[in-house]
């Protein structure tokens, strides 16, 4: 108990004296803004999320305005952030808050937790920052700080570890000022006790068990590292008379609802060459008017999968009738949201699709 009290006191002393971390949503009491910032920051770096947060607040200053927006417009604004389930949940929850709560976020922790896309961490952040409720946030930053300071070697991703750390986080919380406490541990984990920590400047160093037992490098312990699935996406970019073929991803998979070019997915590297492409096109009754162009894609690493691929540029002699999708002009394409994987290609080549 003494150690927890000491931890809390040292942490808050650092927060009020040395914590200089600035963010536009810091100190915010409006649950809509806190919620929006938390959803944007899930799996996104603060530097990148900051810009998106400001764009969203400018475009949709209230949850009702967001709820009333068209899906396509919100997806377009979200474009580039990735993990599009977050964007779908964002819209869904905004509409639930508009329809079931008169456009005001509920203040009860469990009611907040029941909203789609909100987990324990975000619910605790909203409840503590906006409604002064005593719920401790627990995320990777918090787990790292706690496991090091208290020298706990239980894996943070084991069932037993999760329970133990949630209990410890809750016991360390300053019930009189839960919002400030949560902010301080989040900032401390992001700026001092980082994955590579700055122990030499750390005011908790004298009492930190990991530091004093030389275990900083091995804590926190993780039970399993995720094995990522490898996927190969070949995008055939068909252009015919100033129009380009695009289709919408409708399946329950990554990038659902976003647009893409014609896709051929394989489990291994298809190692395309001109002969192979000619053969592939021939089977589909498509005949190019000039030599095709093959561009290897830069791989994209997602949480559970790695996407590799190619972009193959084709200008067919006649409109390929077998393709099910839409042929859009440059202007029309500009209003559609595409995954980042496709933007790495359109942004970096001098080819005809640079306009995207
Ligand atoms: Fe983290 Fe190092 Fe401070 Fe311990 S001494 S809390 S490991 S930064």
DSSP states of 22-63 as a string?
A: --TTTT---HHHHHHHHHHHTTS-HHHHHHHHHHHHHH--SH
Cβ of residue 148 lying under 6 Å from some atom of ligand 1? yes
Contacts 24+ apart (CB under 8 A), 347-350: 349/295
Q: Of 244 and 22, which is predicted with more confidence?
A: 244
pLDDT attached to residue 152: 96
Closest ligand 1 atom number to CA of residue 208: 4
Residue to substitute in 200, 210, 220 for testing ligand 1 pocket (most ligand atoms within 8 angstroms of CB): 210
Residue-wise pLDDT for 154-182, tens only, equals 999 999 999 999 999 999 999 999 999 99
Six token digits for residue 280: 């592939």
Looking at residue 355, its pLDDT comes to 40
Q: Which of 96, 152, 306, 18 is nearest to 112 (CA)?
A: 96
Atom 2 of ligand 1 has which residue's CA nearest to it? 199
Contact 213/289 with Cβ under 8 angstroms?
no
* pLDDT tens, residue by residue, 7-54: 999 999 999 998 888 887 788 899 999 999 999 988 778 888 899 999
pLDDT digits (tens, 9 = 90+) for 61-71: 999 999 999 99
- Residue 205 beta carbon below 6 angstroms from any ligand 1 atom: yes
Mean pLDDT of the chain: 91
Distances (CA, A) of 88 to 5, 72, 162, 302, 334: 41, 11, 28, 18, 20
pLDDT at 102 over 90: yes
pLDDT exceeds 80 at position 349 = no
Between vectors from CA 305 to CA 265 and to CA 259, what angle results, nearest 5°?
50
Residues 6 or more apart whose CB falls under 8 angstroms from that of 107 comprise 31, 127, 130, 131, 133
Half-sphere exposure of 201 (CA within 13 A, CB side): 11
Using a 6 Å cutoff on CB, does residue 211 contact ligand 1?
Answer: yes
Specify the ligand 1 atom closest to the Cα of 199.
2
Write down the pLDDT at residue 225: 63
Predicted pLDDT at 347: 65
Q: What's the rounded mean pLDDT across residues 147-153?
A: 96
**Residue of 172, 204, 206 to test ligand 1 pocket, by largest number of atoms within 8 Å of CB:** 204
**Catalytically active residues, by annotation:** 38
Which residue among 11, 148, 212 is best mutated to probe the pocket of ligand 1, counting the most ligand atoms within 8 A of its Cβ? 148
pLDDT, residue 25, reads: 78
Return all residues near 248 (Cβ < 8 A) that are at least 6 apart: 257, 258, 259, 260, 325
Q: Whose CA is closest to atom 4 on ligand 1?
A: 208
223 band by pLDDT with thresholds 50, 70 and 90: confident
Protein residue with its CA nearest to atom 6 in ligand 1: 149
Instruction: Classify residue 232 by its DSSP letter.
Output: E
Percentage of residues in the chain with pLDDT exceeding 70?
A: 96
Separation between Cα atoms, residue 298 and residue 88, nearest integer Å: 27
Is pLDDT of 120 > 50? Answer: yes
207 exposure class (CB count in 10 Å sphere: 0-12, 13-18, 19+): middle
Ligand 1 contact via 216 beta carbon (within 6 Å):
yes
Atom of ligand 1 nearest to the CA of 198: 8
């Amino acid at each position: 108990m003494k150690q927890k009290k000491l931890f809390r006191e040292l942490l808050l002393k650092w927060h009020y004296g040395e914590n200089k971390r600035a963010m536009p949503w810091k100190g915010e009491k409006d649950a809509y803004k806190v919620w929006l910032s938390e959803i944007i920051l899930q799996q996104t770096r603060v530097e990148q999320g900051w810009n998106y947060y400001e764009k969203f607040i400018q475009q949709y200053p209230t949850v009702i305005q967001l709820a009333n927006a068209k899906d396509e417009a919100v997806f377009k604004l979200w474009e580039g952030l990735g993990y599009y389930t977050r964007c779908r949940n964002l819209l869904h929850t905004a509409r639930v808050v508009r329809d079931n709560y008169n456009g005001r976020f509920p203040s009860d922790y469990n009611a907040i937790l029941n909203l789609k896309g909100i987990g324990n961490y975000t619910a605790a952040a909203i409840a503590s920052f906006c409604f002064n409720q005593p719920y401790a946030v627990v995320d990777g930053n918090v787990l790292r700080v706690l496991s090091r300071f208290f020298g706990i070697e239980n894996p943070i991703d084991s069932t037993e570890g999760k329970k133990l750390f949630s209990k410890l986080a809750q016991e360390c919380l300053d019930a009189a000022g839960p919002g400030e406490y949560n902010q301080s541990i989040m900032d401390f984990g992001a700026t001092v006790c980082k994955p590579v920590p700055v122990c030499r400047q750390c005011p908790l160093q004298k009492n930190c068990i990991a530091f004093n037992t030389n275990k900083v490098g091995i804590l926190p312990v993780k039970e399993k590292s995720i094995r990522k699935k490898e996927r190969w996406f070949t995008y055939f970019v068909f252009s015919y008379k100033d129009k380009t073929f695009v289709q919408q991803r409708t399946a329950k998979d990554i990038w659902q609802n976003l647009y893409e070019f014609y896709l051929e997915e394989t489990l291994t590297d298809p190692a395309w060459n001109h002969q192979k492409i000619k053969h592939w096109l021939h089977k589909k009754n498509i005949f190019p008017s000039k030599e095709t162009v093959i561009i290897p894609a830069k791989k994209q690493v997602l949480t559970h999968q790695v996407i590799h691929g190619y972009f193959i540029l084709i200008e067919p002699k006649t409109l390929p009738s077998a393709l099910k999708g839409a042929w859009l002009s440059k202007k029309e394409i500009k209003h559609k949201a595409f995954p980042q994987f496709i933007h790495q290609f359109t942004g970096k080549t001098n080819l005809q699709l640079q306009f995207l």
